[in-house]
Amino acid sequence: MTDKQREHLKNRIAVVFAWIVACIFFFPIFWMVLTSFKTEAQAIAIPPQLFFEPTLENYTEIQSRTNYSKFAINSVITAFGGTLLALLIAIPSAYAMAFNTGRWTKDILMWMLSTKMLPAVGVLMPIYFLAQKTGLYDTKGLLVIIYALMNLPIVMLILFNYFREIPKEILEASRMDGTSTYNEIRQIVMPLAWGGIASTALLSIILCWNEAFWSIVLTTTDATTLTSFVASFQAPEGLFWAKVSAVSTLACAPIVVFGWLAQKQLVQGLTFGAVK
């Protein structure tokens, strides 16, 4: 065998391995989706059923017998609301910092990041009491506020990095023409940074959507999101594997697709811009 052939063979083996590993990692998700199309009896059958007549019964039942739609809407409202609020606060700030960098800019950004590292459980009691006192406990508004604050540091940092990539000359030229700051942001910065803002939003939505701690602790019925709704199936009494799988599939599908779309931006966002 020549060196080239050997190299080729090695590559072949690596690729086969790669597929095997990928299948192992993906298997639990595949199995969840598969189970969601089984009847409850098939779901717990031994031996496990790989081939069966698929049914949509679970999907129709969770719509009619649980408040699935309500929780899904709650998830959408809190994830998008939290993201929107974070962007509204962050865009002007990140813009001002990126184009008027001062002595303290870096320190401010690093301090913001440090607030992200405050463990939620460390402030559990105060947030709980504040929520009770203000009457915000178990409301979507509360989750929107918390999600916005939770993600604000990351959103700030990514937006800051994006804004810095906009050439300063363009802004200077427009200022010469006497464009107001508001128009400058709206007509020049926003169109240029649009991609960056969209992917930042995507990352924030993913993080909000999958957030579990606060939604479990701070909601009971009205503002329950999909994460805490799924958590409520932990009770051992019922073996509703097929229905749980259907709920889970619906709850995860949009976010997994979002994740696939935003891979690159995710790397930047998740590493706070340290890996690009």
Q: Cα(216)–Cα(141) distance, rounded to whole angstroms?
A: 15
| Inter-residue contact 166 to 200 (CB < 8 Å) | no
| CB nearer another protein, residue 136 or residue 251 | 251
Q: Cα(149)–Cα(180) distance, rounded to whole angstroms?
A: 29
For the bound state, the minimum distance from the C-beta of residue 163 to another protein, rounded and expressed in Å, comes to 12
Residue 237: strand, helix, or coil: coil
| CB nearer another protein, residue 140 or residue 211 | 211
| CB nearer another protein, residue 109 or residue 197 | 109
- Residue carrying structure tokens 């709704």: 229
For the bound state, the minimum distance from the C-beta of residue 20 to another protein, rounded and expressed in Å, comes to 10
Q: What are the structure tokens assigned to 276, written together?
A: 């690009």
Q: What are the structure tokens assigned to 106, written together?
A: 């870096």
| CB nearer another protein, residue 39 or residue 273 | 273
For the bound state, the minimum distance from the C-beta of residue 121 to another protein, rounded and expressed in Å, comes to 5
| Inter-residue contact 112 to 157 (CB < 8 Å) | yes
In order, the DSSP letters of 22-81 are HHHHHHHHHHHHHHTTS-HHHHT-SSPPSS-----HHHHHHHHHS-HHHHHHHHHHHHHH
Rounded to 5, what percent of the chain is helix, strand, coil?
A: 75, 0, 25
For the bound state, the minimum distance from the C-beta of residue 136 to another protein, rounded and expressed in Å, comes to 14
The amino acid occupying position 4 is K
- Residue carrying structure tokens 């679970």: 58
| CB nearer another protein, residue 69 or residue 232 | 232
For the bound state, the minimum distance from the C-beta of residue 15 to another protein, rounded and expressed in Å, comes to 5
For the bound state, the minimum distance from the C-beta of residue 63 to another protein, rounded and expressed in Å, comes to 18
| CB nearer another protein, residue 75 or residue 140 | 75
